Amino acid sequence: MRRIYTLALLLALSSCKTPRQRWLDGLENHASARDRALSLDAARIPPRPGDTSSVTYKVRLYPARDWLDQHGTSGVNELSYQMDSCFLLRQGKHDFAPALFEPVNNGVAGCFEYLLSFDLVKDMQAGRLQLVYRDRFISGKPYTLNLHAQ
C-alpha cells in the first residue's frame, strides 16, 4: 500500500511545472498585425521538452504589392539583409535584442521570413511580452504583437 501512495506522490510531483514553464505556456502560438503597408505574422516554435532557456519565433513579413513593385531588387535586398536590428522583445520598459536572427529563404514570392530566438532572462518573466518590429524600409512605423494570451 505504501508503494502505491509513494508512486502516486512521485507522479504528482513530477507533473508539476516550474514557474518559468508555466510562464512559457502562457505565450501565444501565433500573433499578427496588418495595415495597408504590410502584414506581419509571428508563430512560436515550440521548444524541446524541458527547455526553458529561450523562446523562438518564426516571423513572416508581407509588404504591400505596390511597395514591392516600386522598390524592386533594392527593397528585396534591404528586407533580406538589413533587418537584424528591427526586431526586439519588450516587457514593460525593458527591451531585449534577439540572441539569434536569421533570414530564411522560403521561396514564397513577396514574403520575407526570419527566425528569431531570444534568451530568457528573469526580467522578461515579470509581465507580458510584446514582439516589436520597428520598420525602417516600408512604412517607418513600429508594429507591436502581444505574445501573452489576454
Domains, in order of start, for the chain: 18-146 (2.60.40)
Looking at per-residue pLDDT, the higher value among 100 and 80 belongs to 100
Looking at per-residue pLDDT, the higher value among 109 and 141 belongs to 141
pLDDT at residue 81, rounded to an integer? 77
Confidence of residue 123 (pLDDT cuts 50, 70, 90): confident
Give the tens place of pLDDT for each residue, 21-74.
776 666 778 999 999 999 999 999 987 777 778 889 999 999 998 888 888 777
Sequence-separated (6 or more) residues with CB below 8 Å from residue 68? 75, 76, 110
Average pLDDT score over the chain: 83
61 contacts 40 by C-beta, under 8 angstroms: yes
Give the separation between CA 132 and CA 120, rounded to whole angstroms. Answer: 16
Strand bridging mode 130-134 / 142-146: antiparallel
**Count of residues in the chain:** 150
0.85 cut: is pTM over it? Answer: no
